[in-house]
Structure 1
Amino acid sequence: MKNRERIFLLGIFCLISVMIVTDLITDFDEGVPLWHIFIEGSAGVMSIIGVIFILRNMLQLKVSLSKELQNSSAYKKEAEQWRIHAKEHINGLSQMIEAQLSEWGLTPAEKEVSFLLLKGFSLNEIGEFRGTSEKTIRAQLSAVYAKAGLKNRAEFAAFFLEDLLPGSDI
C-alpha cells in the first residue's frame, strides 16, 4: 500500500470515528436503546483500531526507511573505500604493463595502441581514436606481437590478464 493510500484511509477512519462519536452523543441524549449505542460504539472502536493500525504501520515504515538509508550510506562508504583500494591496484597494474611494454622496446605509438587493445577497443575504434587508418593499427600491432614474441591479440591479452583471473591450473 502506498503512503498516499495510507493517509487517505487514515483520514476516512478519523472521519468515521468523529461521526460515530457525534452520533453516539446525540443518540445518548435522545434515549436510544443501549443495544443501538453498543453497536455504534463497537463500530467506533473498530474505526479507532483502524486509525491506530495505520499509524503504527506508518511509523514502522518510517523506522524501516531510516534504517535502510543508514545501511545505504554505509554501503556507499564501503563501495568508495573499495574503489580507492582497487584504484591503487589498478594503477600498479598499469605501471607493470607499461614496464613490460618498455621491456619489449615498444614505441610510444605502439604502447598507446597496446593499451587501447587491452581496454577492448576494436582496430577500427583505435584507428578513429588515434586519427589513423585501421591498416596502420594492424601494422603497429604486428610490430607489437613480433617484439613481444606473441602470435595475436588473444595471446597478447592473455599475457597480461591470465594471472588476474581465477581458474584451474592448465
Structure 2
Amino acid sequence: MPVLTQERRAATLAVIILFQALCALFFIGDVIVDLQGGDGLVELHLAIEACVALGLVAGVVFLMVELRILIQRVASMETGLRAARGEMAQLVDHFFDQWGLTPSERDVALMILKGIENDAIAEMRGTAPGTVRAQCAKIYAKAQVDGRSQLLSVFLEELFAQGMEQFEKAAA
C-alpha cells in the first residue's frame, strides 16, 4: 500500500475517532441533563443512552488502538524498505567487486539491473551504442551469465536466499 494511501487511512481513522468522541460527549451530557429532570419512563431512556455512550467510548478506544497499530506498522514497513534498499546496494557492490567490474562497467551493469535498454544507456552515458554492447558483453562474461535476464536472476536468487534465511531464523 503506498505511503500516501496509508497516511489517508490514518487521517480517516483520526477523523472517525474525533467524531465518535464528540458523539460520546454529547450522549454523556444528554444523560446528565436527563438525570436532573427525572421521570419513570426517563430511566429506560437514560439506560439506552448510557449504553450507546459507552459503546461510542469503546469504539473510540478501539480506533485509537487501531490507529496506533497502523502508525507502528507504517514505521516498521518504512524501516524494512530502507533495510532492503541497503541490502540490495550491498549485494550489488559485493557481486560487482567479486566480478572485478570497472567503474564504467559498474555504471552500465547497474543500469541493466534497472531495466534500461542499451540505446538509452548509451545516450545517458554519452557513448556509442556499440560501446555499451561491448561493455555488456564484458559484464556478462565476468558474471558468467548469458544475458540480461540471467544477470538479474543472480541478484534475485541471492535476495530470495537471504530472505528465506531470515524467515527461517524468525520462525525458529
TM-score by length of 1: 0.52
Gaps of 5+ in 2: 1-15, 162-172
Corresponding residue number in structure 2 for 1:73: 68
Q: Which amino acid aligns with 1:104?
A: W
Q: Is the contact made by 1:124 and 1:133 (CA closer than 8 Å) also made in structure 2? A: no
Please tell me whether residue 108 in structure 1 is matched to residue 108 in structure 2: no
Q: Secondary structure at the match of 2:146?
A: coil
- The alignment partner of 1:60 has SS state of helix
Is 1:150 the counterpart of 2:165 in the alignment?
no
**1:74-106 deviation line (CA, Å, top 9, x unaligned):** 342244245435534542442232121122222
Q: Are 2:116 and 1:130 equivalent residues in the alignment?
A: no
**Distance in 2 of aligned mates of 1:92 and 1:84:** 12
Q: CA deviation at 1:64?
A: 1.6
Q: 1:160 aligns with which of 142, 151, 155?
A: 155
Q: Distance in 2 between matches of 1:128 and 1:60?
A: 65
Q: CA deviation at 1:109?
A: 2.7
1:53 and 1:139, CA in 2 relative to 1: closer, same or farther beyond 3 A?
A: farther
Rg comparison, structure with higher value = 1
Q: Which residue of 94, 98, 114 corresponds with 1:99?
A: 94
Higher relative contact order (CA 8 A, sep 6+): 2
Q: Distance in 1 between matches of 2:63 and 2:111?
A: 41
Quote the RMSD (CA, aligned, Å): 4.2
Unaligned runs of 5+ in 1: 22-40
**CA apart distance, 1:125:** 9.1
Change (3 A) 1:139 1:61: farther
Q: 1:164 to 1:99 in 2, by over 3 A?
A: closer
Whether the 8 Å CA contact 1:124–1:134 is kept in 2: the answer is no
| CA–CA distance in structure 2, aligned partners of residues 98 and 126 of structure 1 | 23
One-letter code of the match for 2:112? L
Deviations 1:123-165 (A, max 9, x none): 1795388354793544432331122121111110111111433
TM-score, normalising length from structure 2?
0.52
1: CA distance, partners of 2:54 / 2:77: 35
**How many correspondences in the alignment?**
132
